Amino acid sequence: MTTVEIICFGNELLIGKTINTNANWLGKRLAMLGAELLRITSIGDVLEDMAGVVQEALQRKPDVIITTGGLGPTFDDIALAAIAQALNRELELNEQAVEFIKERLAKLRKERGLDFELTEERLGMAMVPKDASVLKNRAGSAPGVVVKENDTLIFSVPGVPSEMKAIFDHEITKYFNLDPDVQFYERSIKVNHIPESELANAISEIREKFPTIYIKTHPHSSKASAEGMIEVEIHITSLCSEEASVKLKEAQEDIVKIIKTMKGTSDKKPKITLQIND
Amino acid sequence: MTTVEIICFGNELLIGKTINTNANWLGKRLAMLGAELLRITSIGDVLEDMAGVVQEALQRKPDVIITTGGLGPTFDDIALAAIAQALNRELELNEQAVEFIKERLAKLRKERGLDFELTEERLGMAMVPKDASVLKNRAGSAPGVVVKENDTLIFSVPGVPSEMKAIFDHEITKYFNLDPDVQFYERSIKVNHIPESELANAISEIREKFPTIYIKTHPHSSKASAEGMIEVEIHITSLCSEEASVKLKEAQEDIVKIIKTMKGTSDKKPKITLQIND
| Distance in Å, alpha carbon of A206 to nearest chain B alpha carbon | 13
Categorize the per-residue pLDDT at B72 as very low, low, confident or very high, splitting at 50, 70 and 90: very high
Spell out a b/e string for A90-99, using b for 16 or more CB atoms within 10 Å of the CB, else e: ebeebeebbe
As a whole number of angstroms, the distance between CA A240 and CA A34 comes to: 12
CA-nearest residue to A236 within chain B is B15
Count the helix, strand and coil residues of chain B and give each as a percent rounded to the nearest 5.
40, 25, 35
Burial class (CB in 10 A: 0-12, 13-18, 19+), B277: exposed
Among B74, B76, B81, smallest CA distance to B54 is for B81
* Rg (alpha carbons) of chain A, rounded to whole number: 23
DSSP string, B159-217: SSHHHHHHHIIIIIGGGG---TT-EEEEEEEEEESS-HHHHHHHHHHHHHH-TTSEEEE
Residues 181-220 of B with CB under 8 A from A: 195-198, 200-201, 204, 207, 214, 216-219
Among A229, A239, A234, A237, smallest CA distance to A270 is for A229
pLDDT along chain A (278 residues), means of 10: 95 94 94 90 97 98 97 91 98 97 93 88 94 96 97 97 93 76 70 77 82 74 52 64 79 87 70 70
Estimate the crossing angle of helix B241-261 against helix B196-209, to 10 degrees: 140
* Cross-chain CB nearest to A27 (options B16, B30, B108): B16
Categorize the per-residue pLDDT at B212 as very low, low, confident or very high, splitting at 50, 70 and 90: confident
Quick check: B15 and A26 CB within 8 A?
no
For B10-20, write each residue's pLDDT tens digit. 999 999 989 99
Residues 143-162 of B with CB under 8 A from A: 158, 160-162
Burial class (CB in 10 A: 0-12, 13-18, 19+), A227: middle
Poorest-confidence range of B101-115, B159-173, B247-261?
B247-261
Quick check: A74 and B27 CB within 8 A?
no
- Chain B residues touching A34 at Cβ < 8 A: none
As a whole number of angstroms, the distance between CA A103 and CA A107 comes to: 6
**Residue A151, number of CB atoms within 10 A of its CB:** 9
| Distance in Å, alpha carbon of B24 to nearest chain A alpha carbon | 4
Categorize the per-residue pLDDT at B223 as very low, low, confident or very high, splitting at 50, 70 and 90: very low
Would the pLDDT of B125 be above 80?
yes
Domain B3-175 listed as CATH 3.50.50.60: no
Work out the mean pLDDT of chain B and round it to a whole number.
Answer: 86
CB pairs under 8 A between A and B: 202
Which helix (H) or strand (E) element contains residue B240?
A: none
Categorize the per-residue pLDDT at B213 as very low, low, confident or very high, splitting at 50, 70 and 90: confident
Q: Does B233 touch chain A (CB under 8 A)?
A: yes
pLDDT of the residue at A268: 66
Which of B12, B14, B105, B236 has the most A C-beta neighbours within 10 Å, making it the best mutation to test the interface with A? B14
As a whole number of angstroms, the distance between CA A188 and CA B140 comes to: 24
DSSP string, A79-114: HHHHHHHHHT--EEE-HHHHHHHHHHHHHHHHHH--
The domain spans of chain A are 3-175, 183-276
CA-nearest residue to B196 within chain A is A74
DSSP string, chain A: --EEEEEEE-HHHHTTSS--HHHHHHHHHHHHTT-EEEEEEEE-S-HHHHHHHHHHHHHT--SEEEEES--SSSTT--HHHHHHHHHT--EEE-HHHHHHHHHHHHHHHHHH-------HHHHGGGEEETT-EEE--TTSSSPEEEEEETTEEEEEE-SSHHHHHHHIIIIIGGGG---TT-EEEEEEEEEESS-HHHHHHHHHHHHHH-TTSEEEEEE-SSS-STTSEEEEEEEEEESSHHHHHHHHHHHHHHHHHHHHHS--STTPPPPEEEEE--
CA-nearest residue to A207 within chain B is B75
Q: What separation in angstroms does the CA of B29 have from each of B168, B178, B211?
A: 9, 13, 23
Which of A2, A6, A8, A14 has the most B C-beta neighbours within 10 Å, making it the best mutation to test the interface with B? A14
Residues 3-42 of A with CB under 8 A from B: 11-21, 23-31, 37-42
pLDDT of the residue at A225: 45
Would the pLDDT of B226 be above 60?
no
| Distance in Å, alpha carbon of B23 to nearest chain A alpha carbon | 7
Structure-derived torsion over alpha carbons of residues B54, B59, B61, B65, reported in degrees to the nearest 10? 0
As a whole number of angstroms, the distance between CA A159 and CA B27 comes to: 18
For B73-121, write each residue's pLDDT tens digit. 987 899 999 999 999 999 999 999 999 999 999 999 998 888 888 998 8
pLDDT of the residue at A259: 83
| Distance in Å, alpha carbon of A90 to nearest chain B alpha carbon | 24
pLDDT of the residue at A179: 57
Q: Which CATH fold topology does B183-276 show?
A: Alpha-Beta Plaits (3.30.70)
Quick check: A108 and B225 CB within 8 A?
yes
CA-nearest residue to B9 within chain A is A39
- Chain A residues touching B44 at Cβ < 8 A: 38
User: Cα–Cα–Cα angle for A220, A8, A4, nearest 5°?
Assistant: 80
Categorize the per-residue pLDDT at B220 as very low, low, confident or very high, splitting at 50, 70 and 90: low
Q: Does B275 touch chain A (CB under 8 A)?
A: no
Hey, do B3-175 and B183-276 end up sharing a CATH topology, with the first three levels equal? no
- Chain A residues touching B19 at Cβ < 8 A: 19-21, 24
As a whole number of angstroms, the distance between CA A220 and CA B17 comes to: 13
As a whole number of angstroms, the distance between CA A200 and CA A202 comes to: 5
ipTM: 0.76
Terminal C-alpha separation, chain A: 20
Q: Helix/strand/coil (H, E, C) string of B111-171?
A: HHCCCCCCCHHHHHHHEEECCCEEECCCCCCCCEEEEEECCEEEEEECCCHHHHHHHHHHH
Quick check: A19 and B24 CB within 8 A?
yes
Of residues A119 and B43, more confidently modeled? B43
Burial class (CB in 10 A: 0-12, 13-18, 19+), A70: buried
Would the pLDDT of B224 be above 80?
no
As a whole number of angstroms, the distance between CA A159 and CA A69 comes to: 4
Categorize the per-residue pLDDT at B174 as very low, low, confident or very high, splitting at 50, 70 and 90: confident
* Rg (alpha carbons) of chain B, rounded to whole number: 23
